[in-house]
Amino acid sequence: MDVMTNCKLSFGPLLFNWSPDKIRDFYFAVADEAPVDYVYLGEVVCAKRHKNNGHLPEIIERLEKAGKRVILSGLILILDDRDMALMEDAAAMAPDYLVEANDLTLVSRLRGQDHAIGPYVNIYNETSLKYYETGGASRISLPPELPADSLKVLAAAATADLEVQVFGRMPLAISARCYHARAHGLHKDGCQYICDQDPDGLTVNTMDGQPFLAINGLQTLSHRYGNLLAELPELAAMGIHNFRLSPHDVDMVKICSIFRDRLDGKLSLEEANKILEEELFALDFANGYYHNIAGLKQVEG
């Protein structure tokens, strides 16, 4: 059985519009129960949702007391003064916390300081990787669409700690327009925070009724949940030892425990997949990007 005890797990930033109390309770459970090493916090999709982060100071305190390292994430897209203010708030925390830039505006703001780069910044080759590393990026979460061959090349060239998302709906696009609001006959500025009705995103079907994408406010996600349990040993062998779980409205403590037990050799791949499938029996998985085929495909074994 493969043992990858030197690998670290992280919870990426929450992508969805949950209530402040639900967010607080979720992260308190993560602090007390989840075998995770890093936790990314902050609004990354829509600055209007920042109001939901009222419990952030106590969440950070609880996580740090539990031995988790907190990383603060910035917005994916900077559009207006409200977004700029939120970006500046994140950048101001850089001396005390590692800040993850998900937009080139914040990348430029943090250049020369120690910071992280999120998966929304396109890094597809060694030249791009080196540009961000020389700018001060010590931790880089790579885009989920990269195949294994590209990951291997980047891992061989990297001096920063590399991270790959191994669970959760995969981010595909971000827009200045809010499809979630438009789907309900609303405008972005008068959205009534309608995205809170879909705690894991709004399913979009093809013309023949097949689920294809998920809409999350300004963001487009995959409908299928990325699952790289089978690929963990190969990723670790490449030199990638940081694995991101994207939070969803499921028992994320249990999901994290499955991945941790797999990394520690307490579960075989077959056992881990069986438990994961039983826990998320209504969900479809995908690992196609990793295998250089359509991202919505699932390669078994």
DSSP for 134-169, written as a single string: HTTEEEEEPPTT--HHHHHHHHHH-SSEEEEEEEEE
Average pLDDT for 177-184: 92
What is the model's pLDDT at position 2?
63
What is the model's pLDDT at position 282?
79
Please give the angle made by the CA atoms of 137, 237 and 160, to the nearest 5 degrees: 10
DSSP state of 250: S
Q: What is the fold, at CATH topology level, of the domain defined by 8-170+222-286?
A: TIM Barrel (3.20.20)
Residue 57 has pLDDT above 60, yes or no: yes
150: its two tokens = 């590209």
What is the model's pLDDT at position 3?
65
What are φ and ψ of residue 228, in 5° steps? -110, 35
- For the chain, the structural domain boundaries read 8-170+222-286
Q: Residues of the chain with pLDDT > 70: what percent?
A: 99
Calculate the alpha carbon distances from 39 to 64, 257, 279 in Å.
Answer: 10, 15, 22
Q: What is the pLDDT of residues 82-100, one digit of tens each?
A: 899 989 998 999 889 999 9
What is the model's pLDDT at position 76?
96
What are φ and ψ of residue 66, in 5° steps? -85, 0
Model confidence at 36, pLDDT cuts 50, 70, 90, reads: very high
Average pLDDT, the chain: 95
Predicted TM-score (pTM) of the model is 0.96
